[in-house]
Amino acid sequence: MNIDFSKFEEKSGLKFRDKTLLKQAFVHRSYINENKDSGLEHNERLEFLGDAVLELVITDYLYKEYPGSNEGQMTSFRSALVNATTCARVATSLFVNDFLLLSRGEMKDTGRARQYILANTLEAIIGAIYVDQGYEVVKEFIYKNISPLIGDIISKGTWIDSKSLFQEKAQEMESTTPAYKTTKETGPDHDKRFTVGVYLGKNLVASGEGESKQDAEQEAARKGLEKKGW
């Protein structure tokens, strides 16, 4: 597949020294499975690195910019800035979707699964920038594309931990502690998807999906809050 990654550099304002590294950031494991002779590596190692770099940069940013916030608030702000929804939103704004190297099957899926792929690819890009150009350049990229979203997140209250809030409301309104139960697991070990239900007593209130049980629980709690009008 011939993709001109220089177009991504133009759109993002980046200039990679190692173009192979840039390309690797866009290679999903499914593409390698279908193109075993491509000579490419998938992006999961870069994603692993980028995840840690993103968390460090955002933590440093919040520590400096929000001196009046306590540890709990900053943790919630950070979670809202580095979660899959926010990362996918940023990836979409950078037209990451136009450059993905995916299997034919993955290319057809444009739903929630694609959101996770976009989010993971953004982390891989961050990892690639860090390897290629170091901390200051990747910090500038994150400050330009991700940090500014904090104002919107705070004003809309999307930084609030849905699971904690749902538990607080359930105990206050119904004198019940919610329970979470995994109802479905799909996909191979490297690409699992979980469906989790949140229950009040024996009653299922809502279900959520995610790449981890924790993400699925948060999604279930968020939907539960909406359903209950809390």
**Catalytic residue ranges:** 51, 123
The residue among 113, 116, 117 whose CA lies nearest residue 28 is 117
The residue among 138, 133, 113 whose CA lies nearest residue 50 is 138
- The side-by-side arrangement of strands in the sheet containing 193-200 is 179-186, 193-200, 203-210
